[in-house]
Structure 1
């Protein structure tokens, strides 16, 4: 017999307090638009990348979260394109060449700030389950995404300094991408 649970009504006052509307998320008491995806990449390594580029500036948690979302979107897009290349070659395993990266330029796993396991999950977000990502391709993708994050972090830090702030904020990351896209 399957567990059916107990149906209890939740008082409206409980639902209304601190719960974000669908399509939004509650961040530090503010409601922001939610971009429709959970973030696979931990924020700590992304924060480290921003701090490396920001120098003496502080980094807000929102900035690390925003950059993590952008990294995830970029990685999923690259993997989708790589899956098309692998399919054209008659393979179900994504290789370094499918991403368009040079295999000889790939750093070692230990030289990277971004962890490889979440990058593997990011790569498989938008591709069918029967596809796999080779170990070398994961490391190459992580290196590419870290370079992408370095560029964005440098731009966001420059924007924060230009605005006269001592903290890199999510709006700096957003503005950077608005300027370069």
Structure 2
């Protein structure tokens, strides 16, 4: 599966959480892959919610969002997030524009959490660069919690 999300905005999210650390290109690429996987999972769950409600359109509440940030305040671009949402729902559903923004908001918060933890792991390893292994280590540690 190719990564739909461009690496540049993901790199920006990591950098705003890096606190002066450098960021490797591989870390941005790994996080972009993880964001894409999470977005596809969330969209599948949202599709189940919509089906239960007798709808063919995914809405923000299907992603657990009441008030998403303004799309201009988000770092993650909406069009790739829309493509991510459609990866596993096979064109059977529509994704409302406000649902796309809501998903982008949820995914950006997710990316902030992961990148902040990856920065902490890099510091713990006494490195000045966040690497893909820090992102991977975060997810490995999450399996135990």
State the TM-score, normalized to the length of structure 2. 0.96
Alignment of 1:81-160 (within 5 A): 81-102=45-66, 104=67, 106-160=68-122
For these two proteins, the number of residue pairs brought into alignment is 143
User: Which residue is equivalent to 1:64?
Assistant: 28
How much does 1:73 deviate? 0.4
User: Are residues 1:170 and 2:138 paired?
Assistant: no
The structure with higher relative contact order (CA 8 Å, sep 6+) is: 2
How much does 1:99 deviate? 1.6
Unaligned regions of 5+ residues in structure 2, if any? none
Unaligned regions of 5+ residues in structure 1, if any? 1-36
User: Which residue is equivalent to 2:40?
Assistant: 76
Q: Which has the larger radius of gyration?
A: 1
State the TM-score, normalized to the length of structure 1. 0.77
Runs ≥4 residues deviating over 4 A: none
